[in-house]
């Protein structure tokens, strides 16, 4: 896992990258949050969707809800970046839509959009 610190409009944002699945369960998400807080000391994270387990995007597993609730509980804002058009589930599209209309969790196409969004909230 690589963490790059970005400062945009006075906000520090952690850009998390790497290869393979980084978050496959709630404990992995908690470990990521702790690592970002320790290494970058910020409350905004951009993570590529490829670093999340595919089960995250199957809402029946409840993994997305459990993980994202941890981000909210620990007062971290997160943007997941990538191409979500491959998912045909209407409930997932509705979930993404609702998240994008909130203030804490976003699903966006690229890093630049994510950095701009996270620096606004």
| Domain containing residue 31: CATH number | 3.30.750
Q: What is the pTM of this model?
A: 0.95
The pLDDT value given to residue 59 = 96
The pLDDT value given to residue 118 = 98
| Residue 114 · residue 106 · CB < 8 Å | yes
The pLDDT value given to residue 35 = 96
| Residue 11 · residue 44 · CB < 8 Å | yes
Cα 77 to the center of its chain, rounded Å: 8
The pLDDT value given to residue 21 = 94
The pLDDT value given to residue 73 = 97
Domain of residue 9, residue span: 2-120
pLDDT tens digits for range 73-119:
999 999 999 999 999 999 999 999 999 999 999 999 999 999 999 99
pLDDT tens digits for range 36-79:
999 999 999 999 999 999 999 999 999 999 999 999 999 999 99
Q: Which of 39, 41, 37, 99 is nearest to 67 (CA)?
A: 99
- When divided into structural domains, the chain yields a total of 1
Percent residues over pLDDT 90 in the chain: 98
């Amino acid at each position: 896992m690589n963490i790059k610190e970005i400062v945009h409009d006075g906000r520090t944002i952690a850009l998390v990258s790497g290869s393979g699945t980084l978050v496959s369960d709630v404990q992995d998400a908690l470990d990521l949050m702790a690592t970002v807080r320790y290494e970058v000391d910020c409350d905004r994270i951009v993570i590529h969707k490829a670093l999340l387990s595919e089960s995250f995007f199957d809402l029946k597993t409840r993994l997305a809800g459990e993980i994202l609730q941890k981000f909210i509980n620990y007062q971290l804002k997160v943007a997941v970046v990538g191409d979500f058009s491959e998912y045909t589930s209407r409930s997932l599209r509705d979930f993404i839509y609702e998240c994008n209309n909130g203030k804490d969790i976003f699903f966006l196409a690229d890093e630049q959009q994510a950095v701009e969004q996270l620096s606004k909230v």
